[in-house]
Amino acid sequence: MELIHQDITKQIIGAAIKVYKTLGYGFLERVYQRAMQVELQTRGLVAEIETKIQGPLQGSDRRGLSSRYLRK
């Protein structure tokens, strides 16, 4: 299956697998968020935690949404 953003998708999935293999399970979510951010940045990607973004909800209603990782 051909992905539209195949290169960055592989980077993100690879980073998530590396973080999980390195840390294992049992930590608070914040630890995994920070580790993921560091791993993405190590791979040359821009990653921000809990960034506010605008997006439509229920038709034309627009409210602030939170995105864990946002590439610029």
40 within some domain: yes
1 within some domain: no
The pTM for the full model equals: 0.69
62 within some domain: yes
Cα distance between residue 28 and residue 26, in whole Å:
7
**Position 72 confidence tier, pLDDT thresholds 50, 70, 90:** very low
Model confidence pLDDT, tens digit, residues 23-68: 999 999 999 999 999 999 999 999 988 887 766 655 544 455 455 5
According to the model, what pLDDT value does residue 52 have?
75
pLDDT at residue 17 above 50? yes
Cα distance between residue 15 and residue 21, in whole Å:
10
45 within some domain: yes
Measure CA of the first residue to CA of the last residue in the chain; give whole Å: 25
72 within some domain: no
| Domain count within the chain | 1
Instruction: Note down the domain range covering 60.
Output: 6-67
